[in-house]
Amino acid sequence: MKKNFTVRKFYLFIFSLILQQHPAFSQSSSINRQIFFLDDKLIEVTFTTDVKKLRNDKSKPIYLPAHVTMKFSDTSVISEDIRVQPRGIYRKNHCNIASLMLNFKNPSSPKLSPLKKLKLVGGCRNGSDYDELLLKEYLVYKIQNLLSNMSFRVRLMHITYNDSKQKVKPYTQYAFLIEDLKDLAERNNCVEKKDTVFYTEATNRKQMTFVNLFQYMIGNTDWSVMRCHNIKLIVSKNDTLSKPYTIPYDFDYCGLVNANYAVPDEQLGIEFVRERLYRGFPRGLDELEEAINIFKEKKESIMYYIDHFDLCSQKCRKNIMEYLNEFYNTIDNKKKVESIFIINARTN
């Protein structure tokens, strides 16, 4: 056991050296987007655009010019002109600045152009409370990464927004970029499944079982396969007629994040997002045990990652781990597993 741990440490050390020498961290070279999303190190960013127009334009989104400067942990800097547009329905209408789509693929951004177009998720408003919510949502993605390769990778940033018209005071907040779905599908030997409506149980059963448990783990009810709400579908490249895999995303309404603006759908019969509700269909005990074992095997890694995520306060980290331990106590109890995931599972 000790020998295997030492070997893992050695390979992690070698990999870190490779990362440091890779063009993704060289000011003179272009970014490599695969390695870009494998690195956990925070990027300090300065973002300059017409902030007021970005905030207030409720018409059909158009791209605005922007200038971005990224300072990486190895001291390299990339500073280029890109384009940006607002996205998202709720955040666009209720937040200070909408979540954004960043278009890096421009003649004016040769070093960043390999990133192509990426979604940026920022805090709904300014302030430490909203920073904490953003960081907790980022952690949900990282937890999912530890559990499954079929999950969106993310890259954390600390962004200072400057208004090019100097009508809005500069402000700083945390944000993260989300990996493009094509890249997620590619590394799973899949392609995106578009323009097709699927019933929940018409998707890959093993993956759907995992997703059901993951959503229950984080206390998330804000998703639907049939409505393609906060779910993407990918299908095997080798068999495009096979059942698609479900990939969840957008977790700001989940109980683990516990955003002050998040309220559950009244039809679900729960009052608060912290209340867990299993939204999957019944499964056999053998199927559940197979999926549950994935969560049990990764528990130590998940708790370690959260406990050492220093950007969140100690109180915040403790709260997250206590919430997750409630889930682990549930899946350790066979009677609760049968009651929640079989007997009282949804039937329609």
The model's pLDDT over 12-68, given as tens digits with 9 standing for 90+, comes to 444 454 444 444 544 457 899 889 999 999 999 999 999 988 887 666 778 999 999
Alpha-carbon span 125 to 261, nearest angstrom? 11
Give me the mean pLDDT over the 302-321 stretch.
98
Q: How far apart are CA 336 and CA 342, in angstroms?
A: 9
Distance between CA atoms of residues 101 and 90, nearest Å: 15
Q: Within 13 A of 278's CA, how many CA atoms are on the CB side?
A: 24
Query: What pLDDT does 126 receive?
Result: 85
Backbone torsions φ then ψ of 82, nearest 5 degrees: -130, -170
**Predicted local distance difference test score (pLDDT) of residue 87:** 84
Q: Which pLDDT score is estimated for 25?
A: 45
306 half-sphere exposure, CB direction, 13 A CA radius: 28
* Strand pairing class (64-71; 77-87): antiparallel
Query: Stretch 295-309: mean pLDDT, rounded?
Result: 98
- Residues whose CB is less than 8 angstroms from the CB of residue 266 and which lie 6 or more positions away in sequence, other chains included: none
**Would you say the C-alpha torsion 151, 155, 159, 165 has a positive or negative sign?**
negative
Cβ burial of 42 (10 Å; 0-12, 13-18, 19+) is middle
